[in-house]
Amino acid sequence: MVSAMTMISSRALCQNFLANGSFENVNTCTEYHAHCAPAAWFTVSPPEFVWPRAKDGERTMSFVYDNVYAPMVKRTFPYTMTLCPLKAGNEYEVSFWLYTDKFPFTHLEIMLSAADPARTPGVIGKTQPSVNLSGSDVVEKDDYGWMLLRKKFRVEEGKNFFMVGNMLLPEPFPLGLGKKLKIAYGNIVFWMDDISLSPTDSTEKLCSWAAFRQSVLYQEHHRHTKHIYLDSLPANSVPLETSHDTLVAQQSAPPLFVMPPIDTLVVPGVLFATNSSIIRSNYAAVLDTLISRLKDKQPARVEIAGHTDNIATDAFNLRLAMRRAASIRDYILRQLPGIGSVTTIQGYGSSRPVAANATAAGRARNRRVEIVIIY
């Protein structure tokens, strides 16, 4: 939680704790091998829209503020990992340009978190935002329609992720608003540019491993399929293009951040009979080991996700992946019925491979069920 303060101060702040705040560095996405999004920034349900003229440079970051026909359902939330942890008790200032097109600006929220917010998208709108922005935080406007927002806030607990969006419960939109504003498909789209997050204390500098964190963020290229959770990226992985300064920072870098303990078990496809969701008895010991670890713990969430190779049709693979996830859930809950309320399942079929499907070995790696336990 943070306590927000509304005073406006000089822009002469310390170094930016957010990577690629200008959004000028562009990610080449894995899926289409094309420029498709700002490097180091990610979105829950990424949107595709026509951009307005940037405030500075050529690029901006867009997100769906809301939808006049389906309030809250279609909102999207840009987020990134901070280059350095935000320290408990310290004060920071956020500043960015916002363009709202025809829609009048009333509020916007910021959520700071210890773990990747993509892990728990369901909490958006149900928890108190870290920082609330309103019209009183607009300090400048230009003739095109961009407005500059700036606000100070104090962090009460250490944080590592920064997310922006409309996080309040929706209010009904006036009838005919979508037609009046000529909003395509009802989406109210906002754009950001030149965002910065800086400590107000001039003695707080960027940490020595900031360059390493930035290189880790820049190397995650997925945007149109589910990218790896940023809080699970290995802290000691060597960047593809590593400068001497980055290597020095990497060698002295602590873990990327402190987050709730997580257990991850990848169950290979051999646990099941071919094209079946029936668990083979001679492989069930893998699940029994997990169950024995869980008996004395109280997990906050258990996520079970089924995956397949690309053999067979997409429809068949999705059904098979879901059935296998359900089989493992049922096996676990027969011995641990008390965790049923925090256990979820999902089938992804062949949409999230971890290896190439061109070889038998690769297909074998893709046939799996991933079990993630968050405590």
Can you tell me the mean pLDDT for 263-281?
A: 80
Which pLDDT score, from 0 to 100, does residue 249 have? 39
Amino acid, single-letter form, for residue 168: L
Fold equal for 2-252 and 262-374: no
Can you tell me the mean pLDDT for 183-203?
A: 88
Strands 131-134 and 107-113: antiparallel
- Indicate the helix (H) or strand (E) that contains 332: helix 314-335
Q: Is the pLDDT of residue 241 over 60?
A: no
Model confidence, pTM? 0.57
Q: Any idea where the domains of the chain sit in the sequence?
A: 2-252, 262-374
- Indicate the helix (H) or strand (E) that contains 330: helix 314-335
Flag the least confident range among 72-86, 141-155, 163-177, 320-334: 163-177
Highest mean pLDDT pick, 49-53, 115-119, 244-248, 319-323:
319-323
Assess contact for 307 and 368: CB atoms under 8 A: yes
Class of the CATH-defined domain 2-252: mainly beta
* CATH architecture of the domain with residue range 262-374: 2-Layer Sandwich (3.30)
How many angstroms separate the CA atoms of 163 and 286, rounded? 37
**Angstrom distances, CA of residue 248 to CA of 160, 243, 253, 313:** 21, 9, 9, 48
Q: What is the pLDDT of residues 102-135, one digit of tens each?
A: 889 999 999 998 888 887 766 666 678 999 999 9
Assess contact for 29 and 37: CB atoms under 8 A: yes
Quickly state the pLDDT bin for 31 (edges 50, 70, 90): low
Q: Is the pLDDT of residue 1 over 70?
A: no
Q: Which residues contact 17 (CB under 8 A, 6 or more apart)?
A: 82, 83, 84, 86, 92, 197, 198, 199, 206
Which pLDDT score, from 0 to 100, does residue 255 have? 44
Q: What is the pLDDT of residues 321-357, one digit of tens each?
A: 999 999 999 999 999 998 988 899 988 898 888 788 8
Q: Is the pLDDT of residue 37 over 80?
A: no
How many angstroms separate the CA atoms of 151 and 134, rounded? 10
Flag the least confident range among 68-82, 207-221, 245-259: 245-259
